[in-house]
A and B are shown apart, each in its own frame.
With several copies, the nearest count.
Chain A
Amino acid sequence: MSTITYREAIVRAQREALAADPRVILMGEDIGAAGGPFKTTEGLFEEFGPLRVRDTPISENAFVGAAMGMALTGYRPVIELMFADFMGVCFDQIVNSIAKHRFMCGGKVAVPVTIRAMGGGGVRFGAQHSQTGETWVYQFPGLKVFCPASPADAYLMLRQAIDDPDPVIVLEHKAMMAMKGEIQTDAGRWPAQRPQVVRPGRDVTLVASLAMVRRAMAAADALAAQGIQAEVIDLRVLRPLVAEPIIDSVTRTGALVVVEENHESGGWGAEIVARALTAAFDYIDKPPVRVTLPDWPMPYSPALEDAAVPSVQKIVDAVLAQH
């Protein structure tokens, strides 16, 4: 165990992967000497050199596709896409090539590509630099989608992603870069790749991901003061989605509130609600509530951005209104 930031956890996971496996190669814009636009590759260029930590041209479609070519021929590329919004310029390679190639080959190949992308709002970057990307990719079979909401997960999920024989998209959240926490380096103690109860409670199940987990936790604190014990579940893995922990929880609490940093229509919250209500139909006694981004792009103005991203207060209010 050691206490580091979310950003440092990302660096460390990559450093260890590079050291452990010569097949691991990092690629992305300005990840070399500059250490990455978010400093998530700091020091790695110095340590592993320009062939293992490669600065690319601004050609996302080419280097994401190249990652697949590398994976098919024995390497384990790790791509840094910088902003998750940039998945737009390489979407074809992600969803049509990388996600489907193994399948189209009859399952005869593996495509061990890791793609890291940093998303999310709250940092005044405007409509084209604030999307989490979660709902862009979690619908595609063939991909795995990891969403680390703590330094511990930023570390272990990235290590798991790089080790995984399948393509994994790791969606990091830029508002969490400085968040501190303990990491678990002993792989034997890593939790399973599924949602995790991060705070137990008996009255309502709060499901959140990425930066919303902290807010859900804070809301649970506030609710506890008002006598409502919220159970908080960190969704963690968006695909493949394992609903059991959520179903189990709502079966006990009887109420579900999801908190996500995506628009309501098309958000993963609907999937959670649908699965929970289908499986625990007889146990849920309150209409579920979704706390999401509003139905417009992310505004730039701080006043409006803060009003858009689900706040602790909004989560509290949603739970109170439900109860």
Chain B
Amino acid sequence: MAGKSSEATGRVVSIASVLGAAGARTAYEKLLLIREFENKVYDSFVAGLVQGTTHLCQGQEAVSVGTVMALRDDDYLTYTYRGHGPCIARGMDLEGAFAEIFGRSTGVSGGLGGSMHLTDMQLGLLGSFAIVGAGLPVAVGAGISARERGIGQVSMTWFGDGATNIGAFHESMNLAAVWKLPVIFVCENNLYGEYSPILSTTPMQDLVVRASAYAMPGVVVDGNDVVAVLDATRRAVARARAGDGPTFIECKTYRQCGHSRSDAGKYRPPGELDAWMERDPIVLFRNRLLAEGLLDKAGLAATEQRVREEVQAAAARAAEGPWPEVRPLHDATYAGTLTA
């Protein structure tokens, strides 16, 4: 399948067959959780609770949820500055995530990392990288560990369309391919790198063709369809666990908000956003849940209500968190004792 738009594209699979009823509820909950989380981060920015910058992923939730749900607890993940999605999908503590973004000592990294650097080693959330492409080599390294340890772990890394033009992408794809490592490369093709449309920086729209430069299987999937994403990822993960090496998954999706806080998105052609809003991953999934009778309107509303409350409560608790104490941070810098 290398270099071709895969069989996964366009194939409509039933939710029940891929997720089951319980899985479907979980997926819906996770989608909502990420959406609510990101909305709350945005509001917190406006309210002055967050300073600096932040990169949100509304519209791309199905990629995070669909890919993460294909993983085992002992798998490894690396992601980007736009990485709240995978973290929340993986189960990162919401208060800890908010508190980190608010710069509080109760943050997952004690406020030292920030919005661009949410991590949690317990969950295999190895790192969020603010330098484009930098997370890929690290995921490859986790893939080496996984392969060496020999218990079927995999490593997964997320990155954008724009990131496929940086050297680290190329070197990582090649290394994973030549060593047949269990690494899943998840490309969130949201059509833009910052304010640049993909065709202004890349001589093609379908990035999956790049996989063939490494003799690596590549698949394209509708990134706004959580079921399709999960389905495609499961196949890739199965291959990786079986020792058959890496896969490149291109998820076609769209960033509903600006690149970062200061971006109003003026570069978008008229109508583009509207068209994608109609394909909002949460709305799509919600409609299918109803259509397939897996959840009724009351059930959906209850879930929505619960998630919203959970997110609001976590943010409220996080906002109460104390500021980190101003003290020497040598111990946060080095693990070993220093002679100095």
The answer to whether A and B touch in the complex, with CB atoms under 8 Å apart, is yes
**Chain A residues with a Cβ under 8 A of chain B:** 25, 29-30, 33-34, 37, 51, 55-75, 77, 85-86, 88-89, 92-93, 96-97, 101-112, 123-129, 141-142, 144, 164-166, 192-194, 237, 240-242, 294-297, 299-304, 307
How far is the CB of A115 from the nearest CB of chain B, in Å?
13
- Give Cα A240–Cα B78 distance, bound, in whole angstroms: 29
**Sorted from nearest, which 4 A-B pairs have the closest CB atoms?**
A69-B141, A65-B137, A124-B52, A300-B114
Residues of A within 8 A of B111 (CB): 106, 299-301, 303-304
- Pairwise interchain contact A29-B335, C-beta atoms closer than 8 A: no
- Taking the complex as formed, is B109 at the interface, i.e. its CB lies under 8 A from any CB of chain A? yes
How far is the CB of B105 from the nearest CB of chain A, in Å?
8
- Give Cα A16–Cα B238 distance, bound, in whole angstroms: 37
- Pairwise interchain contact A69-B163, C-beta atoms closer than 8 A: no
- Give Cα A100–Cα B31 distance, bound, in whole angstroms: 31
- Give Cα A58–Cα B146 distance, bound, in whole angstroms: 23
- Pairwise interchain contact A126-B114, C-beta atoms closer than 8 A: yes
- Taking the complex as formed, is B269 at the interface, i.e. its CB lies under 8 A from any CB of chain A? no
How far is the CB of B122 from the nearest CB of chain A, in Å?
9
- Pairwise interchain contact B335-A61, C-beta atoms closer than 8 A: no
B133-152: contact bitstring with A at CB < 8 Å (1 yes, 0 no)?
Answer: 11011111111111011000
Residues of B within 8 A of A30 (CB): 194-196
- Give Cα A193–Cα B326 distance, bound, in whole angstroms: 28
* Residues A303 and B326 in contact in the complex (CB < 8 Å), given A70-B145, A126-B116: yes
- Give Cα A88–Cα B137 distance, bound, in whole angstroms: 15
- Pairwise interchain contact B324-A62, C-beta atoms closer than 8 A: no
Say which residue of A57, A63, A103, A112 sits within 8 Å of B329 (CB atoms): A103
- Pairwise interchain contact A73-B117, C-beta atoms closer than 8 A: no
Shortest Cβ distance from A22 into B: residue: B148
Shortest Cβ distance from B198 into A: residue: A57
User: Could you jot down 17 A-B contacts, CB within 8 Å?
Assistant: A37-B194, A56-B201, A65-B138, A69-B140, A72-B127, A72-B142, A73-B145, A92-B131, A97-B131, A101-B127, A105-B109, A109-B121, A126-B115, A128-B116, A300-B114, A301-B105, A301-B324
Shortest Cβ distance from B149 into A: residue: A74
Instruction: Tell me what chain A mostly uses at the interface: helix, strand, loop, or mixed.
Output: loop
Q: Which of B172-180, B217-225, B284-292, B293-301 contacts A (4 or more CB under 8 A)?
A: B172-180
* Residues A33 and B142 in contact in the complex (CB < 8 Å), given A92-B131, A109-B121: no
Q: A73-B141, A109-B335 are in contact. List 19 more A-B contacts (CB 8 A).
A: A57-B165, A60-B166, A62-B168, A63-B175, A65-B172, A68-B137, A72-B126, A72-B127, A102-B333, A104-B119, A105-B127, A108-B119, A109-B121, A165-B335, A240-B338, A295-B330, A301-B103, A301-B323, A307-B326
Shortest Cβ distance from A243 into B: residue: B340
- Taking the complex as formed, is B155 at the interface, i.e. its CB lies under 8 A from any CB of chain A? yes
Residues of B within 8 A of A34 (CB): 194-196, 267
Shortest Cβ distance from B203 into A: residue: A57
Residues of B within 8 A of A64 (CB): 137
Residues of A within 8 A of B134 (CB): 65, 92-93, 96-97
- Give Cα A25–Cα B147 distance, bound, in whole angstroms: 13
Residues of B within 8 A of A303 (CB): 103, 111, 323-324, 326
Residues of B within 8 A of A101 (CB): 127
Residues of A within 8 A of B194 (CB): 29-30, 34, 37
- Give Cα A62–Cα B176 distance, bound, in whole angstroms: 10
- Pairwise interchain contact A55-B201, C-beta atoms closer than 8 A: yes
Residues of B within 8 A of A55 (CB): 196, 200-201
B72-98 CB contacts (< 8 Å) to partner A: 76, 78
- Pairwise interchain contact A300-B138, C-beta atoms closer than 8 A: no
* Residues A129 and B130 in contact in the complex (CB < 8 Å), given A69-B78, A103-B329, A299-B112: yes
Residues of B within 8 A of A67 (CB): 141
Residues of A within 8 A of B323 (CB): 301-303
- Taking the complex as formed, is B12 at the interface, i.e. its CB lies under 8 A from any CB of chain A? no
Say which residue of A124, A129, A307 sits within 8 Å of B51 (CB atoms): A124
Residues of A within 8 A of B139 (CB): 69
Say which residue of A89, A126, A240 sits within 8 Å of B117 (CB atoms): A126
Query: How many of B's residues come within 8 Å of A, CB to CB?
Result: 77
Residues of B within 8 A of A73 (CB): 76, 126, 141-142, 145-146
Residues of B within 8 A of A69 (CB): 76, 78, 126, 137-145, 155
- Give Cα A241–Cα B340 distance, bound, in whole angstroms: 7
- Give Cα A97–Cα B105 distance, bound, in whole angstroms: 22
- Give Cα A66–Cα B141 distance, bound, in whole angstroms: 4
Could you say which of A126, A141, A301 has the most chain B C-beta atoms within 10 Å of its C-beta? A301
- Pairwise interchain contact A300-B267, C-beta atoms closer than 8 A: no
Say which residue of B131, B140, B163, B332 sits within 8 Å of A107 (CB atoms): B332
- Pairwise interchain contact A104-B117, C-beta atoms closer than 8 A: yes
- Give Cα A60–Cα B134 distance, bound, in whole angstroms: 12
How far is the CB of A85 from the nearest CB of chain B, in Å?
7
Shortest Cβ distance from B165 into A: residue: A57
B37-62: contact bitstring with A at CB < 8 Å (1 yes, 0 no)?
Answer: 00000000000000111000000000
- Pairwise interchain contact B340-A105, C-beta atoms closer than 8 A: no
- Pairwise interchain contact B324-A166, C-beta atoms closer than 8 A: no
- Give Cα A297–Cα B109 distance, bound, in whole angstroms: 14
- Pairwise interchain contact B339-A65, C-beta atoms closer than 8 A: no
How far is the CB of B260 from the nearest CB of chain A, in Å?
9
Residues of A within 8 A of B195 (CB): 30, 33-34
- Pairwise interchain contact B148-A25, C-beta atoms closer than 8 A: yes
- Pairwise interchain contact B201-A58, C-beta atoms closer than 8 A: yes
- Pairwise interchain contact A124-B114, C-beta atoms closer than 8 A: yes
B101-115: contact bitstring with A at CB < 8 Å (1 yes, 0 no)?
Answer: 001110111111111
- Pairwise interchain contact A70-B113, C-beta atoms closer than 8 A: no
Residues of A within 8 A of B201 (CB): 55-58
- Pairwise interchain contact A300-B52, C-beta atoms closer than 8 A: yes
- Pairwise interchain contact A301-B112, C-beta atoms closer than 8 A: yes
How far is the CB of B258 from the nearest CB of chain A, in Å?
11
- Pairwise interchain contact B339-A194, C-beta atoms closer than 8 A: yes
